Chain A
């Protein structure tokens, strides 16, 4: 992918399309010859988390509008945005997972997506409101993971 190349996907808010998005975006990011496989793997998971949350948001809202995913690469930096038209959420209400060995940890099957995104990519921004949520993931795919 040359500098400034852009890929835009508009996909139905269905779980089956999550794999499609992560495959396309990982392939687009891999065009950079200096990209590292482990960073592409991290991007793949982070994108999957963001699109999963978007699909769930649309399912909550019952909207049939598309989820828009945009990927831009500038040198080795990949920026992915995932825009949904769900109900939004209060980031302060996101419950932190209990300690791994706490008994109630085994009841915590959801809610790991946002923390994973924040760990896997260099920067995660979330803008959310009544008209939906925009998640921005930024990663330099040429440097070793932290």
Chain B
């Protein structure tokens, strides 16, 4: 076996950068997701949504990497919203008591609606992939 069982796609919704996760989120795939999200931060985005609609599995390796995202984003005065539609995914966040620090949105529309407009963010990067 080779490679990771995950895909990511980034879309822009107003001032929010949304990372869509496709595939299992575990120790094999967490590094790829970390790289994608850190790239968003390097590009100047501070308000991010992580959309797990395309993923039907998450374990503590996935939860751990998301906790790390929140730490980095908060250090930049940003925000992180989560889309976690499946009960079995939500259960893992709840068992880790992370539903106390994350709002687990049922779909992307709910996350964007709850997020509202973001604060002004960093200046655009050279590739133009910025708010």
Instruction: Knowing A109-B65, A116-B59, say if A19 contacts B88 (CB, 8 Å).
Output: no
Chain A: interface secondary structure? Answer: helix
Residue of B nearest to A12 (CB): B1
Supplied contacts A45-B57, A109-B67, 5 more A-B pairs, CB within 8 Å: A16-B3, A97-B96, A100-B96, A109-B65, A116-B92
Q: Which of A16, A52, A100, A109 contacts B59 (CB 8 A)?
A: A52
Residue of A nearest to B62 (CB): A48
Q: Does the CB pair B67–A19 fall under 8 Å?
A: no
Q: Does the CB pair A41–B88 fall under 8 Å?
A: yes
- Does B126 count as interface, using CB distance less than 8 angstroms? no
Cα–Cα distance between A113 and B65 once the two chains are bound (Å): 13
- Does A2 count as interface, using CB distance less than 8 angstroms? no
Q: Does the CB pair B67–A20 fall under 8 Å?
A: no
Residue of A nearest to B87 (CB): A38
Q: Which of B11-19, B20-28, B37-45, B108-116 contacts A (4 or more CB under 8 A)?
A: B20-28
- Does B9 count as interface, using CB distance less than 8 angstroms? no
Cα–Cα distance between A106 and B26 once the two chains are bound (Å): 19
Interface of A toward B, CB cutoff 8 Å: 14-20, 22, 38, 41, 44-45, 48-49, 52, 55-56, 97, 99-101, 105-110, 112-113, 116, 119-120
Q: Which of A15, A17, A49, A109 contacts B68 (CB 8 A)?
A: A109
Inside 8 A of A16's CB, which chain B residues have their CB? Answer: 1-5, 28
The 6 A-B pairs with the shortest beta carbon distances in the complex, nearest first, are A106-B71, A109-B64, A112-B60, A15-B28, A100-B97, A100-B100
Q: Which of A38, A52, A105 contacts B67 (CB 8 A)?
A: A105
Q: Does the CB pair B71–A19 fall under 8 Å?
A: no
Inside 8 A of A52's CB, which chain B residues have their CB? Answer: 26-27, 59-61
Instruction: Knowing A101-B100, A106-B70, A109-B64, say if A116 contacts B26 (CB, 8 Å).
Output: no
Inside 8 A of A22's CB, which chain B residues have their CB? Answer: 57
Residue of A nearest to B66 (CB): A109
Cα–Cα distance between A114 and B27 once the two chains are bound (Å): 15
Instruction: Knowing A19-B5, A19-B24, say if A112 contacts B96 (CB, 8 Å).
Output: yes
